[in-house]
Structure 1
């Protein structure tokens, strides 16, 4: 029986003489390990490709969100802040229409979504916003896999944080006024800088947040009347 096994192995190995059964078994084990390593390498490469693809998609979403955010804030004739999760812009639309575009952060389990909800009005847009009955609503998802603590952050001309609750501004009292900032600027409730602070779960650099800060250049605090209207209205 042993002789038959040896002859069969020699035939399988191309009649290579001097090959013992233990040597053949070692070769089989080594080949099996090699196959396992190759399979593991393929799996790791596929996982890395998926990770890079997720990172690239997250980068694209962040880039689009940044461009639209800056554009809307620059071009708005009015904005209304609800809280850290919602801000609505009034913008000029096509063919003389008026757009109300709400930027909304919505928690969804372990993540959050950033989307814009646009309502179209007959127009034209004015410093008071849009008027008339809305003729249509469109929703666009900008970032689908954002961190749940994403938020809109507001500050006044003195760099002091402003927290909004149901549309009402409240100045942060935890930080003392720097000596380089005037009392009027520090006490202003008018928004001078709005930031979108977010990060994506999918990104390999998810711990590095995206901070898109845009100055409200046409609204400044007055030294005689620092509490300007909380809703930005362009001249």
Structure 2
């Protein structure tokens, strides 16, 4: 029995529609899977880049901060968000390193500005850079720091120092000096150790708390004043 062309095509119409629908669904699923894979790879790359940025900024900040504190001949705290270091350099030179925690639009950043000088002057007792300064060089070490970031100070005895009326004072609640600690050192207002308390990429979900602390081991302190008048006594004269 012969089947005409029209009848044959008519008999295959349903199968063709089903195949088309199945093919479309399979194509959509495949496209969705590919899109999800691309999105996952993109998110992974973004997270990896963010982790790398956090590590790089934290490492560079920690190294730079510790170096400035360690080798500083003088530390000049301005407030919880600004501190200046006078750092002796090679060939009797000097570097003034100024650290700032400052607003940058809707974010907070940690910036350090360095200025080189030809000499370190200690004539007045307090070390300071002198001579014709170079052009200041400024760099942002942390571009998205925590809004509560700040510098912390403590004296040689380890007692925290806080700002009161614009000057550093030993923290009152610490009370008496621990056993074996000299009273003079316990009451000192001179910072001998510093810490930077902040976070890196603070506005991101992967924000990383960060703290860098270092003792100032090379401070130049002025010679203490004599507690009584000094008189020249010739040899053999005990009067």
Give the structure-2-normalised TM-score: 0.73
CA contact (8 A) 1:86 1:104 kept: yes
Aligned to 1:146: 145
Q: Give unmatched runs, 5+ long, in structure 1.
A: 10-17, 220-231
CA RMSD of aligned residues (A): 3.4
The one of 59, 64, 76 aligned to 2:60: 64
Aligned to 1:88: 84
Q: Give unmatched runs, 5+ long, in structure 2.
A: 1-5, 224-239
Residues 73/28 of structure 1: CA separation in 2 closer, same or farther (3 Å cut): same
Give the distance between the partners of 1:93 and 1:39, measured in 2 at CA: 56
Aligned to 1:227: none
Superposed, 1:110-129 pairs within 5 Å as 110-124=106-120, 126=122, 127-129=126-128
2:197 pairs with 1:197: yes
Give the distance between the partners of 2:180 and 2:210, measured in 1 at CA: 27
Larger Rg computed on CA atoms: 2
Residues 173/22 of structure 1: CA separation in 2 closer, same or farther (3 Å cut): farther
CA contact (8 A) 2:120 2:127 kept: no
Give the distance between the partners of 1:182 and 1:216, measured in 2 at CA: 19
Give the distance between the partners of 1:61 and 1:182, measured in 2 at CA: 38
Cα deviation, residue 179, structure 1: 6.4
> 1:45 is paired with a residue of what secondary structure?
helix
Cα deviation, residue 25, structure 1: 1.0
Which sits farther off after the overlay, 136-145 or 79-88? 136-145
Give the distance between the partners of 2:145 and 2:69, measured in 1 at CA: 21
> 2:96 is paired with a residue of what secondary structure?
strand
2:33 pairs with 1:37: yes
Superposed, 1:1-235 pairs within 5 Å as 19=15, 21-124=17-120, 126=122, 127-164=126-163, 168-173=167-172, 184=183, 186-201=186-201, 205-206=206-207, 208-217=208-217, 233=221
**Over residues 53-75 of structure 1, what are the superposed CA-to-partner deviations in whole Å (9 max), with x where a residue is unaligned?**
12102211111111111111111
How many positions carry a matched residue from both structures? 213
Aligned to 2:230: none
Give the structure-1-normalised TM-score: 0.74
Which sits farther off after the overlay, 175-184 or 187-196? 175-184
